[in-house]
Amino acid sequence: MSLRERLWATMAPTYAAILNHPFLAGLTDGTLDRDRFAYYVTQDAIYLGDYARALAVVGAKAPEPRQVAIFARHAAGAVDVERALHDTLLAELGLDPSEVASAEPAPTTRAYTSYLMATAYGGSFADGVAAVLPCYWVYAEVGRALVEQGSPDPRYQRWIETYAGEEFAVVVAEVLAVVDRLAEVTSPATEERMHAAAAVATRYEYAFWDAAWNREDWPLPLRG
């Protein structure tokens, strides 16, 4: 198997659990509670800000100029393209953008973004690529799986189509091409770290949807 295939084999069991999660089932049959989806959109907006920062750090460590450009472009895209979708959804869900902007990261959001930033800053370029990869790849595969079923809810259908679309597929293909390039220079020890990073990040992807389903909150208030 190629490096990308080996990494997917590491991610696959968690991906299967993601596809079976009731949050995603609710997207396709249209029964997902509006408050759960609003929670997801709010936390995802928070997540994207730090994900963009992680991508920028990964790009700064890239050994090749083309790779630097890819991650710099994707960092901007994480803010611009997906935030545009969120802006539409916020209005449709009746959410105040200023309240979303000031919302507190939930425990899983904080943990996931902290992991990405720590790996991007403290690890190698390969480590960082592996950590940010699941957010690309899992969403593309989820979009591809869900678009075959569709959703009777136009908001959920638009979300599905975003990640099943050709534009997002091109973005994911660029990152997978970086993985293929890494395969030419990656040692067994580095690949082992990549598998560990990809596995953790994929589990956080599951946890993120699970947090939205349960509307996760901190056990104690931020201020007494």
Whether the CB-CB separation of 171 and 45 falls below 8 Å is answered with: no
Structure tokens that stand for 76 in this block: 């901007």
CB-based contacts of 193: which residues, under 8 Å, 6+ apart? 123, 124, 126, 127, 130
Q: What is the mean pLDDT of residues 72-86?
A: 78
Q: Which run of H or of E encompasses 91?
A: helix 65-93
Structure tokens that stand for 147 in this block: 């678009």
Q: Where are the domains of the chain?
A: 3-214
| CATH number listed for the domain at residues 3-214 | 1.20.910.10
157-204 pLDDT, tens digit per residue, is 999 998 999 999 999 999 999 999 999 999 999 999 999 999 999 999
- Residues with active-site annotation: 135, 205
Residue 222 has what pLDDT?
A: 66
Residue 41's CB is within 10 A of a number of other CB atoms, namely 20
Burial of 99 (0-12, 13-18, 19+ CB in 10 A): exposed
The model carries a pTM of 0.93
Phi/psi of residue 103, each to 5°? -65, 150
Residue 111 has pLDDT above 60, yes or no: yes
